[in-house]
Amino acid sequence: MTTNTTSDSTIQLHIPDSTYPRVVIVGAGFAGLELAKRLAKGPFQVVVIDKNNYHQFQPLFYQVAMAGLEPSSIVFPIRKMFQQMPNVHFRMTAVEAVDTGAQLITTPLGTLTYDHLVLAIGAETNFFGNQTIAEKAIPMKSVSEALYLRNTLLNDFEKALSTVDEAERHGLLDIVVVGGGPTGVEVSGALAEMRKYILPKDYPELNAQEVEIMLVEGSPKLLNGMSEVSSVTALKYLQNLNVTVKFETFVTNYDGEWVEMSDGTRTRANKVIWAAGIIGNKMKGLSEGSLTRGNRIVVNRYNQIKDLENVYAIGDIAYMEEEAYPKGHPQVAQVAIQQGKNLAKNLLRSGSPEKWKPFRYKDLGSMATVGRNRAVADLPHYRTQGAFAWFIWLFVHLFQLVGFKNRIIVFVNWVWNYLTYDQSLRLIIRPRNPKYNPISEE
């Protein structure tokens, strides 16, 4: 029987006792949820811990930021997911530290013992040590950040209507996107379509052509994880949408108004959208020797952390080498889902870990969309671009969403937008806390 056996002076995170081994999963992203769902009906007590009470569908954050979708359509309540699974318990809190010797985790709500601990803590935006950029740029790693970007965009359009000074108006209208991966490409394409189809209708007094969109990428190509033809096609799509793309250039500084770049140029922009990379979230209590580049946790082919048989890492935070991926797997949803499945199967197998099966990633392909009827798709045995790739992208992302209702809502929004070139979601919803409010309510 698993119990919270800690000293009387320690506050315990109350979880009912169980005769089953306790599996504690930290993080309710793609990896953590996949694992929890598959263990739910097995001989385990599963405890899921996350700082939010909902699962976020990250691939569609940019559509929330561009007012194409409401945030409620791409999130799903964690407790609702486990309503019919009595062996699963959820606590909304953060894990502050891990004591692998005592098999104990510490949270602000108390401590909790475990038999198996799974870290699915994901990654955060990587600003490469530049604190100034971290304070001023806008990342896109959460629904709240996507909403903040939406508010900022719409606020600046409103301000620009009454701004006479040309330089100041350009600062309000112009946008710099940093990072030429799928997120940067998709955000740039969505911004360009907003400029082309939405601004002339919503803001007829503004000259939409004054809005300049610049995508800055440090390497010589876009979409580095995809094929050359996809990279070239994505660039062509962006250029056709009048997006300026700068290669082999880095943003070196940003003070909230001026963007400084490694080629010596400066550009005025009140908004810098940062999509230039991610870095793993750290967990106190793990040895430094278990970490590698990007703060990823080194695991073996069974997702076990080095020297810790009953502690695992899955998803973006896990660094695993296999023959086809000698530098680790890409940090994408499919890797996370497949690692969650494989670890669940291994834990459910009776007997010792000698009977476990090593993880082997099956690449299902990569995709990126650059707007209506513009997408690129590298599938295992097939590459395609244009409208067909776009419909594949829509279909795949629609069915990856958690919850049937969410799929219906997103589908209706997409159909309406396709037919009308318009959305009705361009609302400025300001939090009460002025710290997160782009303009004062006074």
Residues with a known catalytic role? 186
The amino acid at 308? L
| CB environment 95-133: b (16+ within 10 A), e (fewer) | beebebeebbbbbeebbbbbebbbbbbbbbbbbeeeeeb
Residue entry with tokens 């209706």: 412
Give the list of residues 6+ apart from residue 430 with CB closer than 8 angstroms, or none. 151, 437, 438, 439, 441
How far apart are the C-alpha atoms of 242 and 253, rounded to whole Å?
Answer: 25
Cα 230 from chain centre: 22
Classified as helix, coil or strand, 120 is coil
Residue 313: name the closest of 178, 149, 123 by CA: 123
How far apart are the C-alpha atoms of 208 and 310, rounded to whole Å?
Answer: 57
| φ and ψ at residue 262, rounded to 5 degrees | -65, -20
CB 243 within 8 A of CB 188: yes
How far apart are the C-alpha atoms of 353 and 308, rounded to whole Å?
Answer: 13
CB 119 within 8 A of CB 26: yes
Distances (CA, A) of 317 to 142, 180, 324, 333: 17, 22, 19, 12
How far apart are the C-alpha atoms of 121 and 282, rounded to whole Å?
Answer: 8
Distances (CA, A) of 141 to 125, 135, 146, 278: 7, 15, 8, 9
